[in-house]
Chains A and B, each alone.
Chain A
């Protein structure tokens, strides 16, 4: 019985992974370079809680952005370090006043500041209320049509907003996710910022995982209208849909929560609208460098996931459309979470009983082959978007793939299992990854997207 279930699960697993390879390969193509879309107003919201280490990098990214119809809100969520002081030093803040929408509730705002050096940058100083609360405050003050949410450790690539704007020129798009790359997976060289693979195994694993997750998984999900998470590190929304969704909900994973809420709206009131994925719109974020911090981060993600599944359990297939529900329940829940247990259990059972060794070996071979093929597909697709490694890095990447499959994926399963168990004992609130503060040097024109087109 366990054997049959394992094989059935395995077949579903193989099917999803095959889809994840072929849809991006055959459908992903970069947006036209010379698209003369008019600049729609964009408002960037950056919640910041004790971000003194990274806030400067984030600001630098924003100053380099090639976009004019833009306003930026740093939302200081009652930081107890000198985040506000650093912002003041960098921006020369001056108190200002602006009316609010009055549609969303949030903690008390102490002051609203405007930068005297960059008149489109604002700082909201408010009482601590968590990330969702900070974002809701930002939405209240925003006057532009498109809202972009950014983590304080996210650095925008100069052309990111232009590309995002192109995606929103389609009226059907109500929300979009950008591509998040890991900053440690790049190097500053000769005044350029290029992908590099001279990094530790733990970061390599995350780099490969992010690339697969964005270039393949998110691309596929967007194509099949089944995006379930717009990463909080870099998401874009029409303000109207955020208000329709009644803002952010205070939870462990507010990014997944808002995405599912939008999926509900698309499935009910706003049929025909869609969530897009824009791989040309790039931002860089830091990933945990130690196993302990990675563990914390992944446990938090898994808790957020379980929380959302439980919250939205009654909406699947009823309020949300078929593909979105199917992807979430089968791919993320069944394969990602539930099968983690059987996957961890099967080798143990096989070793104890010493039967079906051949089957175990066969399944392992198939998983490894699928994983390697998937990584190759990732490299093919990402190179189409200008994410190209030097030959030397490419070779070490190829050698890394088997390790990634054998060691790190198993570790990933462990995170998922432990996270799910912990969720039921301790549903924590606001917490986040460690901050490192790696320096980035951009070409003014941007360089990651420069290879596109032609």
Chain B
């Protein structure tokens, strides 16, 4: 046996040198691209994720708001981490992405100019007319549940002491924590969702219906009422309790509104620009999308200055 030792050792070394790196790559691929198949099965544990009941005392203000600006964001990515696939064919940034630098300056502006960033609870009370909020009030919302929001926007919000509503596509929230990779289209993991609940209140952005059919119709409007309802119920169950909803692509119809009423959804948001007013249509609250090209002056315009 001894005379074979040399060839065996050489072969084994060669084998390990070739196969181990390949296995690592495969493992890496499965962990990262496998994120979608490995969706978090267990629901968000409600007891671990208290809904923000922050309800600040706004009495004694000089002026109160008659309407509130609701801002809508999707993805927040630092400039240096932008990759080719974040851009459109014409070379401009995808409309759902704003750079972290822009986001930072917008938040700074809100802070420096003494804007009140409302919690979901405060906004709800404002909408029902039970509470008056300061004149310069805004509600920040995020759609989809992208990992980059948790990675980059969350620290900024926390730093400024702001709160926001995050509408999650619950079926895409992953089980495993993975590293942020700019090259990938990553959604947050269930752990990240839990940990960030001090800043975010979570809303329903469907479970798996954030898709379009062959004719370009959103699933929410394309499918039967019963099927849409089932999906929304599933998302609500995952979230534990959810009083708010945003329709994917902003597409909805009368049936959608009926479902929302049946599910006791207190507030639902559109993607149409406009201002939220008390006693308004609480299931069709308008929002301003913050586009990548928006300058700080445009931002001020939206805020109504």
- A residues lining the B interface (CB < 8 Å): 3-4, 7, 18, 21-22, 25-26, 29, 356, 358-359, 362-363, 365-366, 369-370, 373, 376-377, 380, 384
| CB–CB B4/A366 < 8 A | no
Q: Which residue of B lies closest to A26 (CB)?
A: B8
Which of A18, A362, A373, A380 touches B25 (beta carbons < 8 Å)? A362
Query: Given the complex, which residues of A lie within 8 Å of B4, measured CB to CB?
Result: 25, 29, 384
Report Cα–Cα, A3/B7, bound state, in Å: 37
Name 21 interchain pairs, CB-CB below 8 A, sorted by A: A3-B37, A18-B15, A18-B19, A21-B11, A21-B15, A22-B12, A25-B4, A25-B12, A26-B8, A29-B1, A356-B33, A363-B26, A366-B19, A366-B23, A369-B18, A373-B11, A373-B18, A376-B11, A376-B14, A377-B11, A380-B11
Provide the bound-state CA to CA distance between A237 and B172, in Å.
60
Q: How far is the CA of A128 from the CA of B22 in the complex (A)?
A: 55
Q: Does B30 contact A (CB under 8 A)?
A: yes
Against A, the Cβ 8 Å flags (1 = close, 0 = not) of B5-42 are 00110011011001100110110011001000100000
Nearest first, the 3 A-B pairs at minimum CB distance are A366-B22, A369-B18, A380-B7
Q: What's the least CB distance linking A85 to chain B, in Å?
A: 51
Contact B29–A25 (Cβ < 8 Å): no
Chain A residues with Cβ below 8 Å from B33 are 356, 358-359
Q: What is the CB-to-nearest-CB distance from A154 to chain B, in angstroms, rounded to a whole number?
A: 30
Question: Who on chain B is nearest to A366 by CB?
Answer: B22
Identify A7's interface contact among B7, B12, B15, B30, CB under 8 A: B30
Chain A nearest Cβ from B38, distance in angstroms: 10
A369 touches B19 (CB 8 A): yes
A26-B37 Cα distance, complex, nearest whole Å: 39
Q: Give the CA-CA distance A385 to B298 in the complex, in Å.
A: 82
Residue of A nearest to B22 (CB): A366
B25 to chain A, nearest CB (A): 6
Chain A positions within 8 Å of B12 at CB level: 22, 25
Give the complex CA separation of A21 and B19 in angstroms.
Answer: 13
Do the beta carbons of A4 and B14 come within 8 Å of each other?
A: no
Interface centre among B15, B23, B29, B30 (most CB of A within 10 A): B15
Q: How far is the CB of A17 from chain B (nearest CB, A)?
A: 10
Q: Is the CB of B22 within 8 A of A362?
A: yes
A370: chain B residues at CB < 8 Å are: 19
Q: Which residues of A contact B11 (CB under 8 A)?
A: 21, 25, 373, 376-377, 380
Q: Which residues of B come within 8 Å of A, CB atoms?
A: 1, 4, 7-8, 11-12, 14-15, 18-19, 22-23, 25-26, 29-30, 33, 37
Query: B23 → chain A, closest Cβ, in Å?
Result: 8
Q: Say whether B7 contacts A366, CB under 8 Å.
A: no
Asked whether A369 lies within 8 Å of B37 as measured between CB atoms, the reply is: no
- Interchain CB contact under 8 A, B26 and A362: yes
Q: Which residues of B contact A366 (CB under 8 A)?
A: 19, 22-23, 26
Check A362–B29 contact: CB distance below 8 A.
yes
Q: How far is the CB of B123 from chain A (nearest CB, A)?
A: 40
Contacts of A4 in B (CB 8 A): 37
Assembly CA distance A377 to B4 (angstroms): 12
Contacts of B29 in A (CB 8 A): 358-359, 362
The CA-CA distance from A29 to B3 in the complex, in Å, is 10
Q: Is the CB of B22 within 8 A of A25?
A: no
Q: Give Cα A4 to B36, complex, Å.
A: 12
Taking the nearest CB of chain B, how far is it from the CB of A380, in angstroms?
Answer: 5
**Distance of A1 from chain B, by nearest CB (Å):** 8
| Chain A residue, CB-CB nearest to B38 | A4
Chain B residues near A369: list those with CB within 8 A: 18-19, 22
CB of B59 to closest CB in A, whole Å: 56
Report B-chain residues with C-beta under 8 Å of the C-beta of A363.
26
B37 — nearest CB in chain A belongs to which residue?
A4
- Chain A residues positioned under 8 Å from B19 (CB to CB): 18, 366, 369-370, 373
Please give, as numbers and ranges, the residues of chain B lying within 8 Å of A384 by CB-CB distance: 4
B190 to chain A, nearest CB (A): 20
Cβ contacts under 8 Å, B37 to chain A: 3-4
On whether the beta carbons of B30 and A365 are closer than 8 Å, the reply is: no
- In the complex, the chain B residue whose C-beta lies closest to that of A374 is B15
Provide the residues of chain A in CB contact with B30, threshold 8 Å.
7
A18–B12 alpha-carbon span in the complex (Å):
11
Give the distance to chain B from A241, nearest Cβ to Cβ, in Å. 31
Distance between A7 CB and nearest chain B CB, rounded to angstroms:
6
In the complex, which residues of chain A have a beta carbon less than 8 angstroms from the beta carbon of B1?
29
**How far apart are the CA atoms of A384 and B11 in the complex, in Å?**
14
- In the bound complex, how far is the Cα of B22 from the Cα of A335, in angstroms? 20
Residues of A within 8 A of B18 (CB): 369, 373
Query: In the complex, A206 Cα to B30 Cα: how many Å?
Result: 35
Q: In whole angstroms, how far apart are the Cα atoms of A373 and B18 in the complex?
A: 9
Complex CA distance for A69 and B148, rounded to whole angstroms: 81
Provide the bound-state CA to CA distance between A370 and B18, in Å: 9
- Distance of A7 Cα from B25 Cα, bound (Å): 13
What is the CB-to-nearest-CB distance from B286 to chain A, in angstroms, rounded to a whole number? 36
- Given A26-B8, A356-B33; A373-B26 close (CB under 8 Å): no
Q: Within the assembled complex, what's the spacing in Å between the Cα atoms of A21 and B15? A: 10
**Minimum C-beta distance from B280 to chain A (A):** 43
